């Protein structure tokens, strides 16, 4: 399938600012395609960035039939651009589509649409240290009907925008609030799909935590309120001693992070041991007290590798590594971003030049 291309009038092209936060600036173009029952995907186009028009009864607005993704394009020192593991993103997009009863996309076509969009908005890929172009593919249910049921028409779109650090703390440790009341997802629910409802469900607790000075919420399993799942926008890892990295196993209610998978594959090549296991919050807090756990860090596309310096559970704060970024998080941050920005070899074949 071809993508019809209409580019913006060069006089109207935006410029990428020097100061970058996360997710508030958008590049000049938008990819869209439409799926109708019996017809499949059609009308693929890249056009100047524009608002979407939706019927007020479009099912996404009422029942949240929606999925999204997040990946980044990185500016290399030679001026070229790398995408990081876009194939894995496309696979997860379809996994989410299956769970939300939405039509699958052709993964190769999806990645090619992203590649073309980035190529057209090439000058939006920033080159300041730590910056990148964040790419947000999404799919929404568009059929106007108030009866509950899967939609028969869908819109798949991809937008992008230059970003700096996700957290205002940058690479400095964030404070995390362990929720003892609200739960994000339950086994059998939609926790391992990247769908808006999971994030909507997290907002109540996130707002409470923010009021008390915590940047993120750490979610526990919904059945026993005991096992560590993940953080609002990232997976979580614990460092035992100076060698062993442990992250919660995938249970079906956790997002299978691509950064998490990259850490699990990269860390052993740097001399670390990794394992995925069930982690009891009480044992983890005891491990911080005893000094067995030396570092805690989150990992995600937006968050990259983000040290955690403080955990609050049931009214008690535990400080990790004196609220300082530790050597393991630092090493992983350096090695991972070096692969992403093309500064070191990529034995895994993760990087795809645009």
Binding site for ligand COI (CB under 6 A): 70, 233, 300-302
Q: Angle at CA 294, nearest 5°, toward 235 and 129?
A: 60
Radius of gyration of the chain (CA): 21
CB of 298 to ligand PLP, least distance (A): 8
CB of 68 to ligand COI, least distance (A): 7
Residue 257 vs 326, nearer CB to ligand PLP: 257
Q: Residue 314: helix, strand or coil by DSSP?
A: coil
Distances (CA, A) of 56 to 53, 63, 144, 242: 9, 12, 7, 55
Binding mask 249-268 for ligand PLP (x = CB under 6 A): ------x-xxxx--------
Residue 133 vs 302, nearer CB to ligand COI: 302
Task: Please state, in angstroms and rounded to a whole number, the distance separating the CA atoms of residues 56 and 67.
Answer: 19
- Residue 255 binds which entry of ligand COI, ligand PLP, none, CB below 5-8 Å type-dependent: ligand PLP
Based on the shown chain and the rule CB under 6 A, indicate whether residue 137 belongs to the binding site for ligand PLP: no
CB of 163 to ligand PLP, least distance (A): 13
Residue 287 vs 300, nearer CB to ligand PLP: 300
- The CB-nearest residue to ligand COI is 70
CB of 14 to ligand COI, least distance (A): 22
Q: Residue 239: helix, strand or coil by DSSP?
A: strand
3-state SS record for 292-310: CEEEEEEEECCCEEEEEEE
- Locate 116 and state its tokens: 């073309």
Task: Please state, in angstroms and rounded to a whole number, the distance separating the CA atoms of residues 230 and 237.
Answer: 9
Count of C-beta atoms within a 10 Å radius of residue 88: 18
Residues 20-39 interacting with ligand PLP (rule: CB under 6 A): none
- Residue 131 binds which entry of ligand PLP, ligand COI, none, CB below 5-8 Å type-dependent: none
Q: With residue 313 as reference, give the H or E element that holds it.
A: strand 304-313
Contacts with ligand PLP by CB under 6 A: the residue count is 12
Count of C-beta atoms within a 10 Å radius of residue 57: 13
Based on the shown chain and the rule CB under 6 A, indicate whether residue 308 belongs to the binding site for ligand PLP: no
Residues 193-232 interacting with ligand PLP (rule: CB under 6 A): 230
Report the interface residues with ligand PLP, using CB under 6 A. Answer: 70, 230, 233-235, 255, 257-260, 300-301
């Amino acid at each position: 399938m071809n993508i019809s291309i209409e580019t913006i009038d060069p006089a109207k092209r935006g410029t990428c600012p020097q100061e970058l936060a996360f997710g508030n600036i958008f590049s000049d173009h938008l990819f869209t395609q439409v799926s109708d029952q019996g017809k499949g995907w059609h009308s693929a186009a890249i056009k100047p960035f524009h608002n979407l028009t939706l019927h007020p009864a479009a099912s996404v607005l009422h029942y949240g039939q929606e999925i999204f993704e997040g990946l980044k394009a990185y500016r290399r020192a030679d001026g070229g651009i790398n995408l990081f593991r876009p194939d894995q993103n496309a696979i997860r997009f379809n996994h989410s589509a299956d769970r939300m009863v939405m039509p699958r996309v052709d993964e190769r076509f999806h990645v090619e649409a992203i590649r073309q969009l980035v190529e057209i908005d090439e000058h939006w890929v920033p080159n300041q240290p730590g910056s990148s172009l964040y790419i947000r593919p999404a799919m929404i249910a568009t059929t106007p009907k108030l009866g509950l049921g899967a939609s028969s028409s869908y819109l798949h779109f991809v937008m992008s925008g230059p970003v700096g650090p996700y957290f205002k703390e940058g690479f400095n440790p964030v404070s995390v609030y362990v929720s003892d009341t609200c739960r994000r997802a339950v086994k059998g629910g939609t926790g391992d799909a990247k769908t808006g409802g999971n994030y909507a469900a997290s907002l109540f607790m996130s707002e409470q935590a923010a009021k008390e000075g915590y940047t993120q919420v750490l979610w526990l399993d919904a059945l026993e309120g005991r096992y560590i799942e993940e953080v609002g926008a990232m997976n979580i890892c614990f460092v035992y001693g100076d060698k062993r990295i442990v992250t919660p196993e995938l249970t079906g209610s956790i997002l299978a992070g691509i950064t998490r998978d990259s850490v699990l594959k990269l860390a052993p090549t740097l001399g670390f041991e990794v394992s995925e296991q069930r982690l009891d919050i009480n044992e983890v807090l005891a491990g911080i007290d005893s000094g067995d756990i030396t570092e805690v860090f989150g990992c995600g596309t937006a968050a990259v590798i983000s040290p955690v310096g403080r955990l609050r559970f049931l009214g008690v704060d535990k400080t990790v590594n004196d609220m300082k970024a530790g050597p393991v998080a630092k090493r992983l941050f350096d090695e991972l971003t070096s692969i992403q920005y093309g500064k070191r070899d990529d034995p895994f074949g993760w990087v795809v030049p645009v």
